[in-house]
């Protein structure tokens, strides 16, 4: 009874918009799917507003819009990997504004790069300001996309970041020297997503050993994988119940390693984790936000970011294997997330993707996260490219 009373009082103390969104989510998943095309367009527009309204006004993307505290300051890490999403949108649609925005993001990132090539963790105003492996790898994705799409203005920054990462890798393939101060200490298997940054740098600057360094890290990370695809040490704070977000990071890095190397052992490793995740998916596309070592649900809420990350990986694996289970799971998962996205209402939330469903879940609580929008766009773009054949064909 005391806990219920505290919950009620906490809810009553929320701003009206937060209470309204919590009430809306309490009614369950909305019945209507706005469509992949509409969600992509509105999420792109939301990212533009997140850039324009960042509390630090610097060209980066606000980390989130919060129903409690409004727009946050810019987040270098996720601004980095939003760059490829914006550039791809510009190529796909001819939207010149997306290209201009991507250039603004890149120019800001180059301006805040540290002399050794690394980038800070956290938001731009976070303390301490120290170079962090993970954040640098995510920004490297943007720098490599900038070189590929916009030219050599970003090559020096890309090479410096890639060299810093490659040279800071331990002999066994693990990054330990520059951990984030904003997560639980310890080894992180999900830094396969950092290796993806090295793979992209290798594509535009071959011959520097960037890809080989990334593949060494992937080999180390796979020592954390169990026979059922489960991954140890794969969470920010709770390795026994990792977020689908960090599991999605791990899986994408392994899939990208296969894309770079064409090594069938890496495809098999990716499928082990992808198949384990299939067993956690409900028929309606609901993927629990935290999972246990037997792929059981650890929480009742959904981490929407993790859902679309994993859906994207399933779609990639469908392209490589033609196994319809991956496509069907991805379509169901993407549709679930789309139904949580509003394509009407206030501009602060229209097209934004919440951290959790329901909104008071324990990931990005009462927040619309810039990286959730990014991964939602990417997964839906790939869904449209792959197509939607008959279920189970």
Residue 138, both tokens: 């995510």
Look up tokens 């596309």; give the residue.
Answer: 285
pLDDT digit string, tens, across residues 51-97: 999 999 999 999 999 999 999 999 999 999 999 999 999 999 999 99
Q: Looking at the predicted structure, is the pLDDT value of residue 207 above 80? A: yes
Look up tokens 């490659």; give the residue.
Answer: 166
User: Full-prediction pTM beyond 0.85?
Assistant: yes
Paired residues of 70 in beta bridges? 66
- CB-side neighbour CA atoms (13 Å) of 130: 10
Distance between CA atoms of residues 106 and 355, nearest Å:
25
Distance between CA atoms of residues 314 and 326, nearest Å:
5
pLDDT at 182: 84
pLDDT at 267: 98
Full set of structural domains in the chain with CATH: 75-224 (1.50.10.10), 229-386 (1.50.10.20)
Going by pLDDT thresholds of 50, 70 and 90, the confidence category of residue 1 is: very low
Distance between CA atoms of residues 158 and 168, nearest Å:
16
Residue 348, both tokens: 């602060």
Kindly give the residue spans of alpha helices, DSSP state H, lying in 151-233: 155-167, 192-204, 210-221
Q: Looking at the predicted structure, is the pLDDT value of residue 293 above 50? A: yes
**Average pLDDT for residues 384-390, to the nearest whole number?**
83
Secondary structure of residue 120 in the 3-state scheme: strand
pLDDT at 6: 38
The answer to whether residues 121 and 77 touch, using CB atoms and an 8 Å cutoff, is: yes
**Average pLDDT for residues 20-31, to the nearest whole number?**
96
Going by pLDDT thresholds of 50, 70 and 90, the confidence category of residue 185 is: confident
pLDDT at 322: 97
Q: Looking at the predicted structure, is the pLDDT value of residue 180 above 50? A: yes
Angle between helix 370-386 and helix 76-93 axes, rounded to 10 deg:
30
pLDDT at 392: 58
Torsion sign across C-alpha atoms 155, 160, 165, 166: positive
**Average pLDDT for residues 274-281, to the nearest whole number?**
98
**Pairing status of strand 64-66 against strand 356-357:** unpaired
Going by pLDDT thresholds of 50, 70 and 90, the confidence category of residue 8 is: very low
> Which of 189, 196, 228, 235 is CA-nearest to residue 215?
196
Using alpha carbons, list the distances in angstroms from residue 201 to 98, 100, 122, 166, 260. Answer: 22, 22, 23, 11, 11
H or E element in which residue 83 lies:
helix 76-93
Distance between CA atoms of residues 92 and 106, nearest Å:
20
Return the DSSP state at 281: -
| DSSP per-residue codes, 305-345 | HHHHHHHHHHHHHHHHH--HHHHHHHHHHHHHHHHT--SSS
Q: Looking at the predicted structure, is the pLDDT value of residue 7 above 50? A: no
What is the total residue count of the chain? 393
The answer to whether residues 252 and 269 touch, using CB atoms and an 8 Å cutoff, is: no
Spell 63-74 as b/e; 16+ CB within 10 A means b.
Answer: bbbbbeeebbbb
pLDDT at 2: 38
Query: How buried is residue 115: exposed, middle or buried, by Cβ count under 10 Å (0-12/13-18/19+)?
Result: exposed
Torsion sign across C-alpha atoms 283, 286, 288, 291: positive
């Amino acid at each position: 009874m005391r806990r219920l009373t505290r919950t009620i009082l906490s809810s009553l103390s929320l701003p009206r918009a937060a209470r309204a969104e919590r009430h809306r989510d309490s009614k369950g998943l909305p019945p209507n799917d706005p469509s992949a095309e509409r969600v992509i367009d509105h999420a792109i527009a939301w990212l533009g507003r997140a850039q324009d309204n960042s509390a630090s006004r610097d060209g980066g993307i606000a980390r989130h819009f919060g129903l409690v505290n409004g727009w946050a300051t810019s987040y270098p890490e996720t601004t980095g990997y939003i760059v490829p999403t914006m550039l791809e949108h510009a190529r796909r649609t001819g939207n010149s504004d997306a290209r201009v925005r991507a250039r603004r993001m890149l120019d800001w990132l180059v301006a805040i790069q540290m002399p050794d090539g690394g980038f800070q963790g956290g938001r731009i105003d976070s303390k301490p300001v120290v170079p962090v492996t993970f954040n640098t790898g995510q920004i490297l994705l943007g720098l490599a996309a900038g070189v590929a799409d916009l030219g050599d203005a970003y090559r020096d920054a890309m090479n410096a970041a890639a060299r810093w990462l490659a040279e800071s890798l331990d002999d066994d393939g693990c990054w330990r020297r520059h951990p984030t101060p904003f997560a639980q200490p310890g080894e992180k298997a999900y830094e396969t997503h950092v290796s993806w940054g090295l793979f992209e740098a290798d594509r535009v600057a071959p011959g520097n050993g960037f890809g080989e360094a990334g593949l060494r890290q992937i080999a180390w990370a796979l020592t954390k994988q169990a026979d059922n695809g489960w991954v140890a040490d794969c969470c920010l704070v709770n390795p026994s119940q990792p977020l689908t977000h960090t599991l999605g990071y791990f899986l994408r890095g392994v899939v990208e390693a296969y894309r770079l190397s064409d090594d069938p052992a890496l495809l098999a490793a990716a499928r082990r984790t992808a198949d384990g995740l299939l067993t956690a998916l409900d028929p309606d596309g609901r993927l629990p936000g935290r999972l246990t070592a037997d792929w059981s649900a650890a929480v009742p809420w959904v981490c929407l970011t993790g859902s679309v990350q994993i859906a994207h990986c399933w779609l990639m694996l469908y392209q490589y294997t033609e196994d319809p289970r991956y496509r069907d799971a991805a379509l169901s998962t993407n549709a679930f997330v789309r139904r949580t996205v509003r394509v009407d209402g206030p501009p602060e939330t229209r097209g934004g993707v919440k951290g959790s469903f329901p909104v008071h879940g324990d990931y990005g609580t009462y927040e619309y996260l810039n990286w959730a929008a990014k991964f939602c766009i990417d997964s839906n773009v790939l869904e449209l490219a792959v197509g939607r054949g008959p279920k189970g064909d």
